[in-house]
Structure 1
Amino acid sequence: MADAGVHTATAADLPEIVRIHRETWRLAYARLLPAEVLDALDTDDAWALAVGQGAVLAATEGDFTVGFVVASKAPDEEVAKADGSLPPDADTTALLSVLVEPRWGRRGHGTRLVAEAVRRLAGAGATRGIAWVPEADEASRNFYERLGWTGDGTVRTLDASGRPLREVRLSGPLEVRLAD
């Protein structure tokens, strides 16, 4: 494998992050989401804001950007229990979302991204992480489960242009061990 790395995303990474997001979701979620939702993924402004806040890390292999993770403190509405109450650790819970382009999968990029994200989050006082994953997305659920994260029993159903999308919340420790 060529040199692999993870760095804080900058404006120079935006075109590749947007491309990876758009193309990977169109491939992975074509059966779950309507075409108009997938076509609306070109939201450069939203990505520019996240990158500008330092909440996005990019993974590279050689000269290629191959994936990214968005990681920050979890908003209250993302960490709340099903009844709307907040758990005792709400203020120290982080929200993560990782995506690696399929052709670069199974090469450790996702794990490296999460490892660096949780290192930074734990250093800033976070104690636990959560991620929302479409219930039908077995690959993403399996990825988080390999990290030691499990479903916490919370589900939500999003309206994706009239088509319901059921997501499960996974939760786990901010610890990732990389193989030597």
Structure 2
Amino acid sequence: MLLVREMGEADIEAVSAVRVEGWRSAYAGLVPQTYVDAMTVGRDAAARRKRFADPHRRSADLVAADADADADADADADAGRVVGWISFGPCRAPVAGAGPVGEVFALYVRPDLTGQGIGLALLDEAHRCLEDLHFRVSTLWVLRGNEGARRFYERMGYRADGGVQDDDYDGVTLTELRYRRTLHQRRTQ
């Protein structure tokens, strides 16, 4: 049974593990291997702890936990094993003509569990939370070459809206595309 719940401090190591595994799987061949190889769960968790403790943090974080699995040593025993994570909040940059805009900052699922509805459950709950906060639109950024993620988000009702940004990864510039979705709409399957 899958449980989507608010992330707690006890989830930080498990979330970092899901994120690092997700990067290694999703961005293989897209992001320079030197950049991916330099990622560690320990460094990610240390940075995540700082962000999580920030009293001015504007993001919300949810985890998907396998409530039937034995809890691993890094997670709260009552919470189950963390198998996915999503972070969202107010959009970091204005989007012209969109009204109140939220943003999905990150969505990762354990690579061995993709395609099982975990990302869908996390995204649905994030959309519900954004709607409760009176956002009318949700945006997110996805690497141009990440075709699997682009297909997933398109099935969830997102469309590329023409926004682009470039990011540098170990001296290699990669382009991200902005996707947008009106909230309070049904996704297409």
Question: Taking structure 1 as the reference length, what is the TM-score of the superposition?
Answer: 0.84
Q: Which amino acid aligns with 2:2?
A: A
1:55 to 57, 60, 68: 60
Matched residue count: 167
1:46 corresponds in structure 2 to 47
1:132 corresponds in structure 2 to 141
Deviation above 6 Å: which 4+ runs of structure 1?
A: none
For structure 1, list consecutive stretches of 5 or more residues without a partner in the other structure: 81-86
2:101 to 93, 100, 111: 93
Matched, 1:71 2:88: yes
- Secondary structure at the residue paired with 1:159? strand
Matched, 1:29 2:27: yes
- Judge conservation of contact 1:11–1:51 (CA < 8 Å) in 2: yes
- Per-residue CA deviation, residues 92-113 of structure 1 (Å, 9 max, x unaligned), is 1111021111211111111110
CA distance in 2: counterparts of 1:46 and 1:151, whole angstroms: 30
- Judge conservation of contact 1:118–1:176 (CA < 8 Å) in 2: no
Q: Which amino acid aligns with 1:74?
A: C
Q: Which amino acid aligns with 1:28?
A: A
- Judge conservation of contact 2:60–2:88 (CA < 8 Å) in 1: yes
Mapping for residues 162-177 of structure 1, pairs under 5 Å: 162-175=171-184
- Per-residue CA deviation, residues 101-137 of structure 1 (Å, 9 max, x unaligned), is 1211111111110111111111111110011001111
Change (3 A) 1:16 1:177: farther
CA distance in 2: counterparts of 1:141 and 1:158, whole angstroms: 18
CA distance in 2: counterparts of 1:145 and 1:175, whole angstroms: 16
- Judge conservation of contact 1:37–1:160 (CA < 8 Å) in 2: yes
Change (3 A) 1:43 1:162: same
Deviation at 1:50, TM superposition (A): 4.5
- Judge conservation of contact 2:144–2:176 (CA < 8 Å) in 1: yes
Deviation at 1:33, TM superposition (A): 1.6
CA distance in 2: counterparts of 1:37 and 1:149, whole angstroms: 28
1:151 corresponds in structure 2 to 160
CA distance in 1: counterparts of 2:175 and 2:25, whole angstroms: 18
1:109 to 118, 123, 145: 118
- Secondary structure at the residue paired with 2:121? helix
- Percent of counterpart pairs with the same letter? 27
- Secondary structure at the residue paired with 2:16? helix
CA distance in 1: counterparts of 2:162 and 2:180, whole angstroms: 10
For structure 2, list consecutive stretches of 5 or more residues without a partner in the other structure: 69-79
CA distance in 2: counterparts of 1:40 and 1:150, whole angstroms: 30
- Judge conservation of contact 2:158–2:180 (CA < 8 Å) in 1: yes
Change (3 A) 1:113 1:51: farther
